[in-house]
């Protein structure tokens, strides 16, 4: 069992997750090393020691395998949210689940993120990348609804979308600035969302000078 998996998974489900994760990691690694256009499904399967047929049991294309890291990264967030204490305010539960997931991954490596950003900007990955983010938002919205006891699904989708946006903005800010850590920025953005963004809407005076850095393209 890896540290990414909850302890109550069956052995079969655990092995399926491990196989899917291994294929996704191999696909991403090969795409970064060779360029996606030079990677075949057969190459990914060989890297993991399985058949192309096994690969097709998990992914419909190499593009989906590369982008699946976006979805897989949030599986832990979903499980962490459902495991939060009963009676805890919903926004606090969501915030802690998000922070827990990204704390587990550690501070990103700038050089790696730069390579990843270049890869994800390729036209052949754009559609699958957007599909992956849509899937993450849908799963998070469903988890929020379950946590909230069947709340208005539109509001759950709005909340999930807001959380995803906060993550992307925090990543872009971290990538474009020197020395500003990712996690404190993400936590600050989530706190602002939870309280209705009072710094902008409630007349609260910002503690720092306004940041006029261009946000640039969203990162994964």
Identify the pLDDT of residue 103. Answer: 86
The residue to which tokens 């994964």 are assigned: 220
The predicted model gives 157-165 an average pLDDT of: 93
Q: Up-side HSE of residue 122: CA atoms within 13 Å toward CB?
A: 15
Report CA-CA distances (Å) from 4 to 31, 87, 197: 23, 25, 32
pTM of the model: 0.73
Label residue 216 left, alpha or beta by phi (over 0 means left) and psi (-120 to 50 means alpha).
left
- Tell whether the model's pLDDT for residue 175 goes beyond 90: no
Which has the minimum average pLDDT: 39-48, 55-64, 96-105? 96-105
Q: Which two tokens stand for residue 58?
A: 């998990």
């Amino acid at each position: 069992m890896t540290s990414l998996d909850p302890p109550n998974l069956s052995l079969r489900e655990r092995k399926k997750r491990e196989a899917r994760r291994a294929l996704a990691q191999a696909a991403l690694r090969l795409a970064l090393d060779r360029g996606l256009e030079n990677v075949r499904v057969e190459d990914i399967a060989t890297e993991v020691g399985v058949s192309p047929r096994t690969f097709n049991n998990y992914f419909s294309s190499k593009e989906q395998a590369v982008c699946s890291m976006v979805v897989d990264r949030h599986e832990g967030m979903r499980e962490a949210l459902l495991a939060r204490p009963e009676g805890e305010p919903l926004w606090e539960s969501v915030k802690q689940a998000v922070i827990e997931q990204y704390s587990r991954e550690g501070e990103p490596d700038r050089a790696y993120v730069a390579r990843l950003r270049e890869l994800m900007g390729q036209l052949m990955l754009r559609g699958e990348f957007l599909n992956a983010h849509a899937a993450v938002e849908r799963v998070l919205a469903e988890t929020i609804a379950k946590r909230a006891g069947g709340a208005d699904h539109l509001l759950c989708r709005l909340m999930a979308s807001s959380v995803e946006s906060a993550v992307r903005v925090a990543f872009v800010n971290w990538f474009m600035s020197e020395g500003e850590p990712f996690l404190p920025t993400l936590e600050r953005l989530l706190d602002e969302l939870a309280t209705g963004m009072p710094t902008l809407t409630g007349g609260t005076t910002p503690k720092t000078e306004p940041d006029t850095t261009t946000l640039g393209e969203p990162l994964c």
